[in-house]
Structure 1
Amino acid sequence: MKKMIRFRATMSGFSTIFLLVFPFLTTLAQTIPEPPAQHPRLLMMAGEEKQIQKTIDTDPNWRKVHEAILAESDHLIDLPPIERIQIGRRLLDKSREALRRLFYLSYAYRLTDDVKYARRAEKEMLAIAGFSDWNPTHYLDVGEMTMAMAIGYDWTYSTLSPQSRQVISRAIIEKGLNTSLDERYNSWLRATNNWNQVCNAGITFGALAVYEDEPDLAKQLFKRAINSIKLPLEDLAPDGAYPEGYGYWNYGTTFQVLFLSALEKAFGSDYGLSRQPGFMATARYYENMTGPTGYSFNYSDAGGGRGSLSPAMFWFARKSNDPSLLWIEKGYLQQDDPARFTRNRVLPAIMIWGAGTPLDKATPPTKNLWTGQGKSPVALMRTSWTDPNAIYVGFKTGTPSASHAHMDIGSFVMEADGVRWALDLGSQEYESLESKGMNIWGKEQDAQRWTVKRYNNFIHNTLTVNDQYQKVQGYAKITKSGESKQLKFAVSDLSDVYEGQLAVAQRGIGIVDDAFVVVRDEIKVPDQTTKVRWVMLAPDDVKINGNNLAVLSKDGQQLTLRVDHPADAKLQTWSTAPTTDYDAPNEGTLLIGFEYEVPSGKSQALQVSLLPQKVVSTGKKFDKPLNQWQP
């Protein structure tokens, strides 16, 4: 029989209930001490404003960020409070806007001592407290709303009337903390993805904020969270590659860091969570995921836009005493208008974690290849960290069964001369599909999810065999990699992802002589003639010259795609336009590649070179089997 632990939790206005803690919580965390008795007790303790103000006074980079937050807070004062308007199954956009507003207004109050910001935050909190609920059936909504209310309540506590304190505290307890005890809503406690990180962080913030009102309940929730939140951290082992990709790294890891920072400030310890294998290394993963163009490697359910400033990276840099982690973030702060970042709902956290960090010490990383294994292994390589025209390649393996994954195993992105030539469309907005009755969360081989154009392998930069989907339960890791000026590369055995379709499938991607990129597949087909399609998603200005050459053009630059093997392959293009009423438009893109029939039982090499404009005339070639690829 599964061991169940139950504890008594007192609830204002409710009878005593019992919390059933899930079987994985076999050992509760060590004794939790009392948090600080006085408010504020979340993230920025009383008096810490002075250090931030000192940095603002002496460093123009940080002053610009601070002033952007204040300017946005001034804008928020005149806006009406958020209303409870649900879109489909989600209230999430309202929860996120609540977090943005209350974090900004509360920060503005803490740093200026101007009560106008606190009064506006109070107005927002009272409106949210009056919502019928915070939508616990989609618990991310509750997690973010609870964090929003907790920060506002804790940071403006001294300005709130006794009546407002009571109303806001009761809402945090009843609409936030208590709903996390309900088994109908708290399956996230067992999740290994961003839901666990976001929801545990939000509920913990709420419990800290109202600790004096429900100390026993709060302590139990602290212990529960410390044990539960280990689960997504385990998926970062061994190297820090985040299974859900760039966009969800910024989401899940930011809330993970908010959680750890709150523990450190309130209790003086993060209970060993930051020492979990791969966790501190995950900052290097994130840094390497942005190419010289500023666009991220947007595989899986990531967006397709440029990278963005991450406050969490400043926590990692300070925690590890490694300013080189901030090379990309430094560029954002020094080159962009900070007002561009004010849609980031946790931007004020950067002033807590980053203020005092001299950006001139953020030097370029020393390695041009980063490889991480795990559920979604990646290899990320470039020719330079300082040249905006550098070559960049991101190569993804793993499994379509990972959280938020696509059938993109073996796919890649590629940049040169300031242009992203090999593209990934990223995710499609969930509501656009769910509103049409699509079930986009199934992971079965025949799940409806895979009929969405952006999610299956047909439109990703990988192989398709006999017009079939990749195998959902298949898995591929990085089998070898290396870095030298002659060759930066990674190789993966994709055979498991093509089980029953190919007898052998290996793919290697490398940057040769810091000059061009080679993509080489070595396959063996089963005992039947097999059609293999090789494609690359590209900008839509493509001219095919003969059978094996194509010239891609964008922004005044050109890239030549050359098929080296098979010699008789014939290049062609395919449209990326939607073919259903639910697929998103994919303007400005097309697929370039070839189809090739391999005779029964035969082996075949497929090799494509991607040649930037300055090396086309040199006739450079690289033609080695994968077993000879060495740095």
Structure 2
Amino acid sequence: MKSFVRLFAPHNHRGVRSRPPMRFVRQAATGLLLAVAASGLLASPAAAATLSEQRAALRQVSYKAAQDYVNARPFFAELARTNGIIVKDAIASGTASLKEVGDALTVATTQAAMDAVAVRMQAEATRAATVRKSAEQLEVLEDLREAQQRVAITAFDDLTVSRISLTTYAATKERASAFTTQLAADTAVQLGVIGKPLAAPDLKSPAWLGALQNGSGTIPSISGWVGFPGGCALPSAGTAFNPVLPTDGPGVATNKVTIASAGSRANADASLKAIHEQMLRSAKSEAAIALPLADLQGAYVPRIARLGYGWLSGGDTASRNVLASEARKILAAGPESMNTLTSSHLLLAAATATDWTKSTGMEETVLVRWLGPQTCLQADKENFVDAPTNIAAIHNSANIVAAAVFLKKSPARAAALAKESLESIQPALRHITADGGTQEGPGYWTYQSRAIAVLYSTLPNVYAVPPVSMPSLAKVSEYALNSTGPDGRPTPFADALPTELSPLMPAWDAYVRNDAGVSAWVAEKLKQKPDAYLMWWTPKPGTVPTKKSVLYPKTGFAALHLSGSTATLKGGNNSANHAHLDLGTASIYRKGVQWSVDPGAPTSAPPGYYSDSMRWTFWKPSTSAHSTLMVKGVNQPMTAVAPVTSASASAASVDLRQAFPGASTATRSVSHGTTSTVLKDEVRMTERKDLVWQWVTDASVSLGTDRAVLRRNGQMLVLRFAGIPTGSSITAEVAPEKGPEGQALTIVKLSMPQVQSLDLTTTAY
């Protein structure tokens, strides 16, 4: 837009604009303001002539723009997460920009300045109106999505009970699929203008709602999108992303080569032969058990591996028949919700069983009821599928495998879903492969292991060359070997239980890299608990390597090993998924005993446990439930980060300054020796605070003036303190809750009042 002055400036005889008389300026200003008013941007028309009158008219424009932002605000809570964030951010940036223009309007004292402000104000008014209208229309699109889903699901249900013909269903499916592409295109257009000084276009998809709901006519499909009935459209993908399973044998998790190779190893090794025969007997027993649906859903994931081994490695047709029938039963029952990990675990297992048995007939069920909702998680960029968490790893792994198994007749859909899922899973994979561990704790490391291992072992069977580079699992294997203590258990942190790490990811990694050391570790796990995947994936083992001290900087964890003993130190990020406020937590394993206990998560999480507003009111995730140093009665900040460093194979330290706001120094160091472990706490603060050093244990405790003596399993560990501040006291208190295995816990506390400078040394021997 030209300025008021230049738009109407008369020309002199040379064709050059000269300064116009003031009456022309006022007329021009009045004309533009009336035009703006006519467009609906002014609260009321104004015949402005003076600068003050123009300023008043533009104030009205500003007020209406501000009201548009107010009216848009309720929508960001109603929309899908990513879209809601986009609207929220547009409101925030637009409000700030509007204020900036308003400030310029206040100080405009010349016509030229007023002209410039008017141009900017009109842009801001357009921007604000677009945010409001697009937010409204995005909500309309979500309502239209639900309408499409109802049509698709109803049609599928009607087909299932023969209320409609296959031809009628196919036509409805085609219309529903095309309608999802209309919705996707409309959504992309609205998101493309939010936050810009561009008018929001009207929606096009509502024009096709009648055709969808009335079951008549044809709905055009928008190019560049692939529609999913009962779900959402995804961007088209190239044929390189289409996962194609082998037709002459299994392709999920295993193939003819791995099965034959495992059989050869079993025939050549008496101990493997015994495990092989044991697993075949187990498969026969499993096949003889008939489970009601609720029990089957709870036992299904490990059950299919046992039955699968009986069929694929033993040729047991009873196992095959049960695999096929139970997969159909699981899929026909439908998912609880694809937002739940239970559903994705079931989908992954049922897809595996379907591939192994070459069963058919459930493709439409999976497309409409299972994969449809998954595509909407992808389309909405929900953190269920794109965050660096175990949740995303499990959802996406299930998507990719299910796409390969159930979308064989829909290669465009298979490619689109596989592409979205392969790309969405990358943050989760980068997280767990950065140093091999995960900030979510060892429990969730294991929880995602089956999904990731099945995905990795399937990809070579469906792609000659994976279309997306997959990070190596080598560091994951290293974590499994070296993050654990002499008892083979990991030191728990976050919402974790003290259970052993799953060998599934290391098993596949050992197979791919032919790593004899990792394979030896996996072989020991196989002897402890036979498993089909471990039999198929484990190459010839060598010798289990001696544990080495390792720093896991991304996970925020250090493990210091000597023969028969281990000390660990926890740092990391309190804001990580499933994290506890546990920075600085230390543990010691000596004399065959783990002397500290991490409280883990509740056996049954109470209401509000996973919400930010209530989570930290519970004892187990709070700082007071961990063996660390803390300000008395105060949780560490939820956003605190504590880097862990390692000076040598026997020493590590953690910077706890963010855990102690206002501290210039806050360091905990651990030195692990053959006869003792030394903890040093150094703190410097700007003001005095009550500090508490604490140790959570399931040992019995007796106290002295400068020590606590712990006894368990006939062994004893002394915690001796040096540098205790004046006025301190040592106590042993019963913990408010039991440990992760139901054991009573005691908290040893060294309470130190009004400390500003601390140099405390604790020697454990």
Q: Secondary structure at the match of 1:107?
A: helix
Which residue in the other structure is 1:287 paired with? 481
Moved more, 411-420 or 14-23: 14-23
Matches within 5 A, 1:495-514: 495-500=657-662, 502-512=663-673, 514=674
Note the C-alpha offset of 1:531: 0.8
Closer/same/farther in 2, CA of residues 564 and 383 from structure 1, 3 Å limit: same
Is the CA contact 1:41–1:208 (under 8 Å) kept in the aligned structure 2?
Answer: no
Amino acid at match of 2:709: V
Is the CA contact 1:560–1:610 (under 8 Å) kept in the aligned structure 2?
Answer: yes
Amino acid at match of 1:517: T
Which residue in the other structure is 1:97 paired with? 299
Note the C-alpha offset of 1:47: 5.2
Amino acid at match of 1:104: R
Q: Say whether residues 1:313 and 2:500 are aligned partners.
A: no
Q: Say whether residues 1:561 and 2:762 are aligned partners.
A: no
Note the C-alpha offset of 1:573: 0.5
Q: Say whether residues 1:170 and 2:364 are aligned partners.
A: yes
Cα distance in 1 between the residues matched to 2:300 and 2:319: 14
Amino acid at match of 1:287: L
Which residue in the other structure is 1:264 paired with? 460
Which residue in the other structure is 1:348 paired with? 532
Q: Secondary structure at the match of 1:31?
A: helix
Cα distance in 2 between the residues matched to 1:137 and 1:41: 24
Is the CA contact 1:82–1:124 (under 8 Å) kept in the aligned structure 2?
Answer: no
Choose which of 361, 364, 381 in structure 1 pairs with 2:545.
364
Q: Secondary structure at the match of 1:130?
A: helix
Closer/same/farther in 2, CA of residues 350 and 509 from structure 1, 3 Å limit: same
Q: Secondary structure at the match of 1:526?
A: strand
Cα distance in 2 between the residues matched to 1:230 and 1:122: 32
Note the C-alpha offset of 1:589: 2.0
Cα distance in 2 between the residues matched to 1:266 and 1:427: 38
Matches within 5 A, 1:404-423: 404-423=578-597
Q: Secondary structure at the match of 2:686?
A: coil
Note the C-alpha offset of 1:143: 1.2
Choose which of 437, 453, 458 in structure 1 pairs with 2:619.
453
TM value normalised by structure 2: 0.66
Cα distance in 1 between the residues matched to 2:447 and 2:278: 22
Choose which of 286, 294, 313 in structure 2 pairs with 1:111.
313
Closer/same/farther in 2, CA of residues 77 and 331 from structure 1, 3 Å limit: closer
Closer/same/farther in 2, CA of residues 593 and 65 from structure 1, 3 Å limit: farther
Cα distance in 1 between the residues matched to 2:341 and 2:367: 16
**CA deviation profile, 1:539-566 (whole Å, cap 9, x unmatched):** 231121x211222111111111111222
Cα distance in 1 between the residues matched to 2:453 and 2:236: 23
Which residue in the other structure is 2:196 paired with? none
Moved more, 261-270 or 413-422: 261-270
Q: Secondary structure at the match of 2:696?
A: strand
Q: Say whether residues 1:520 and 2:680 are aligned partners.
A: yes
Note the C-alpha offset of 1:244: 1.2
Q: Secondary structure at the match of 1:41?
A: coil
Note the C-alpha offset of 1:260: 1.8
Note the C-alpha offset of 1:383: 0.3
Is the CA contact 1:149–1:172 (under 8 Å) kept in the aligned structure 2?
Answer: no
Cα distance in 2 between the residues matched to 1:392 and 1:300: 19
Is the CA contact 1:180–1:186 (under 8 Å) kept in the aligned structure 2?
Answer: no
**CA deviation profile, 1:137-186 (whole Å, cap 9, x unmatched):** 533122111111111111111xx5xxxx21x3333323322221224896
Which residue in the other structure is 1:543 paired with? 702
Closer/same/farther in 2, CA of residues 270 and 54 from structure 1, 3 Å limit: same
Closer/same/farther in 2, CA of residues 371 and 217 from structure 1, 3 Å limit: same
**CA deviation profile, 1:587-608 (whole Å, cap 9, x unmatched):** 3321113111244xx3211211
Amino acid at match of 2:365: A
Is the CA contact 1:535–1:592 (under 8 Å) kept in the aligned structure 2?
Answer: yes
Closer/same/farther in 2, CA of residues 481 and 318 from structure 1, 3 Å limit: farther
Moved more, 140-149 or 12-21: 12-21
Note the C-alpha offset of 1:325: 2.8
Amino acid at match of 2:589: E
Which residue in the other structure is 2:748 paired with? 592
Note the C-alpha offset of 1:105: 1.3
**CA deviation profile, 1:418-443 (whole Å, cap 9, x unmatched):** 111122122212xx234xxx212223
Structure 1 unmatched runs, 5+: 86-93, 342-346, 385-389, 612-631
Is the CA contact 2:574–2:640 (under 8 Å) kept in the aligned structure 1?
Answer: yes
Cα distance in 1 between the residues matched to 2:243 and 2:490: 42
Cα distance in 1 between the residues matched to 2:624 and 2:424: 37
Is the CA contact 2:623–2:636 (under 8 Å) kept in the aligned structure 1?
Answer: yes
Note the C-alpha offset of 1:511: 0.5
Note the C-alpha offset of 1:238: 4.3
Q: Secondary structure at the match of 1:433?
A: coil
Amino acid at match of 2:488: G
TM value normalised by structure 1: 0.80
Note the C-alpha offset of 1:382: 0.9
Cα distance in 2 between the residues matched to 1:491 and 1:55: 46
Closer/same/farther in 2, CA of residues 517 and 584 from structure 1, 3 Å limit: closer
Q: Percent identity?
A: 19
Q: Say whether residues 1:440 and 2:609 are aligned partners.
A: yes
**CA deviation profile, 1:479-521 (whole Å, cap 9, x unmatched):** 44312xxxx1111111112214x44311111103x22101111
Q: Secondary structure at the match of 2:693?
A: strand
Cα distance in 1 between the residues matched to 2:691 and 2:575: 23
Q: Say whether residues 1:212 and 2:408 are aligned partners.
A: yes
Closer/same/farther in 2, CA of residues 237 and 201 from structure 1, 3 Å limit: closer
Moved more, 462-471 or 70-79: 70-79
Matches within 5 A, 1:100-249: 100-131=302-333, 133-157=334-358, 160=359, 165-166=360-361, 168-183=362-377, 187-236=383-432, 238-249=434-445
Is the CA contact 2:283–2:306 (under 8 Å) kept in the aligned structure 1?
Answer: yes
Q: Secondary structure at the match of 1:112?
A: coil
Closer/same/farther in 2, CA of residues 351 and 326 from structure 1, 3 Å limit: closer
Amino acid at match of 2:605: L
Is the CA contact 1:136–1:185 (under 8 Å) kept in the aligned structure 2?
Answer: no
Choose which of 393, 396, 403 in structure 1 pairs with 2:567.
393
Which residue in the other structure is 1:35 paired with? 244
Which residue in the other structure is 1:300 paired with? 494
Choose which of 60, 73, 76 in structure 1 pairs with 2:286.
76
Cα distance in 2 between the residues matched to 1:597 and 1:62: 61
Choose which of 368, 377, 382 in structure 1 pairs with 2:556.
377
Structure 2 unmatched runs, 5+: 1-82, 87-137, 139-147, 157-168, 192-233
Output the aligned Cα RMSD. Answer: 3.1
**Number of residue pairs the alignment of both structures matches:** 547
Closer/same/farther in 2, CA of residues 353 and 490 from structure 1, 3 Å limit: same
Is the CA contact 2:429–2:471 (under 8 Å) kept in the aligned structure 1?
Answer: no
Q: Secondary structure at the match of 2:595?
A: strand
Q: Secondary structure at the match of 2:760?
A: strand
Which residue in the other structure is 2:636 paired with? 470
Which residue in the other structure is 1:610 paired with? 764
Q: Secondary structure at the match of 1:113?
A: coil
Note the C-alpha offset of 1:328: 4.2
Is the CA contact 1:109–1:115 (under 8 Å) kept in the aligned structure 2?
Answer: yes
Closer/same/farther in 2, CA of residues 565 and 61 from structure 1, 3 Å limit: farther
Is the CA contact 2:251–2:461 (under 8 Å) kept in the aligned structure 1?
Answer: yes
**Which structure has the highest strand share of the two?**
1
Moved more, 68-77 or 449-458: 68-77
Is the CA contact 1:571–1:594 (under 8 Å) kept in the aligned structure 2?
Answer: yes
Amino acid at match of 1:557: Q
Note the C-alpha offset of 1:470: 0.5
Amino acid at match of 2:180: F
Which residue in the other structure is 1:614 paired with? none
Is the CA contact 2:237–2:412 (under 8 Å) kept in the aligned structure 1?
Answer: no
